[in-house]
Chains A and B, each alone.
Chain A
């Protein structure tokens, strides 16, 4: 498993919305294959905008984004991208099974052909027994697991997560953090994880991009020493505390300059 080629290249990316809001400016960044990278910053600093541009859901006003050398809307559909939103974004009218099935269904695969994949995906997130449930019957954490299963069912090489656990209680969040880490470790996967929590970014990633608002920009690019696999104990090590202090310092700098 090679974890060193750039999978995403961003060059001088700028995004101005139609209403004149300058959301992102001068963003230049190479993301290497296999990295677990966090975008950290206060709300409104353009994290979601960057993620949507990478996914091809928004077009940069200027600058360039390349995924494996291609523009986001030109990559072939089998090099798919997984996307997880802050709220689980499930279809309330569909069962857990049908929600996870969605990406395959949109590719024209029948439910019969997909049943094995669906079962595997649900098993991975520990929800095999809930495949006939409706989203409203699940807790927040379970909904998020369904959302993750849906994002992973196409076996993407790139997983984008936009503050996925911000609305969950701490215990659930910790558990899901570990789950995401294990998915990443066991697959040829690059993860971009958006968060406004210093602790979450340090716990999960081997690289933290600190962003500042007005206009949204990168103010620090911090590499954290690899020490995977990580588990609850990592939260009590001095390396973890040290990293948190380092990242917080950069984040504070961004606030002071404002």
Chain B
């Protein structure tokens, strides 16, 4: 009895340790990489206009903080709204596709064309046709993020178990009940997978579109800061902006993963941790 308790205790400790390890390991690896970077730059006396040391970058982050943060806020806004629009558009059109094969067959080619044409090639046109720069950037980022949500939602809505569908017919479910209680929950895992991809893509879209748009205007994002710095050979500033972009990307990844875990954790295989 006593021994058993001890065993259970040990297992608990081990699990706790494993959970901590999941955070400690990447943290240590990154810290280590940064230290090596710092050491190499100092040891070989690499000039900071070639490769700045991490200490130099963080100093720049501090001094240029206000302007960089403002840019970051702009990029966040752009990314967030384009993702939001991608979700709304993707889910609505995905529902339409799931409802009617005819609509899907006629509209799907357009979605594919939008998807396969590199955004960098369409962006200049959009910037010409759309007056507001923010709207143009939004459209660019939206195009990139939209497709995975559309296609996954359409597939997910169709993935409902056929016996469950029969059951809903047996009980004379209305189309609305069928959508609400069967198709949407069935589509949720597919949608969450798409959201993880689309989150990253909307950031890429936002950055790429801004690169094409150039640095014109006051209200600009991190991509403009990077471009600007490259013109002025302010390499540390470029790295600082780059650092913020990756922080943004990582945050989006973490948030969408967490969201997926919250929504699916209690029932879907992809989010359930199997006991060994």
Quote the shortest CB–CB distance from B212 to chain A (angstroms).
Answer: 42
Secondary structure at the B interface, as helix, strand, loop or mixed, is helix
Contact partner, B171, options A85, A94, A106, A134, Cβ 8 Å: A106
Tell me, in angstroms, the Cα distance from A102 to B167 when the chains sit together: 10
A112 at the interface (CB under 8 A from B): no
Contact assessment for A92 and B177 in the assembled complex, using a CB-CB cutoff below 8 Å: no
Contact with A along B52-85 (1 / 0, CB 8 A): 0000000000000000000000000000000000
**How many of B's residues come within 8 Å of A, CB to CB?**
20
Query: For window 142-165 of chain B, which residues contact chain A by CB distance below 8 Å?
Result: 161, 163-164
Judge whether B262 is part of the interface by a CB distance below 8 angstroms: no
The answer on a CB contact under 8 Å between A106 and B161 is no
- Contact mask for chain A residues 92-126; partner B; CB cutoff 8 A; 1 contact, 0 none: 11100000001101110000000000000000000
The CA-CA distance from A226 to B5 in the complex, in Å, is 56
A102, B181: Cβ atoms closer than 8 Å: yes
Partner of B181, one of A57, A85, A105: A105
B248 within 8 A of A: no
A92-B267 in contact (CB<8A): yes
Does A254 sit at the interface, judged by CB under 8 A? Answer: no
Q: A106 contacts B177, CB within 8 Å?
A: yes
B171's nearest neighbour on chain A, judged by CB, is: A106
A108 CB, nearest partner CB in chain B, Å: 9
Is A134's CB under 8 angstroms from B267's CB? yes
Residue B166 lies at the interface, judged by CB distance under 8 Å to chain A: yes
- Set of chain B residues within 8 Å of A83, measured between Cβ atoms: 166-167, 170
Residues of A within 8 A of B188 (CB): 93
Q: Which of B163, B167, B177, B267 contacts A93 (CB 8 A)?
A: B267
**20 A-B contact pairs sorted by A residue (CB < 8 Å):** A55-B166, A55-B170, A56-B169, A56-B170, A57-B166, A57-B170, A77-B172, A81-B170, A83-B166, A85-B166, A89-B167, A91-B182, A93-B188, A93-B267, A93-B268, A102-B171, A105-B177, A105-B181, A106-B168, A106-B173
Residues of B whose CB lies within 8 Å of any CB of A are 161, 163-164, 166-173, 177, 181-182, 185, 188, 266-268, 272
In order of increasing CB-CB distance, the 4 nearest A-B pairs are A89-B163, A106-B171, A93-B185, A85-B163
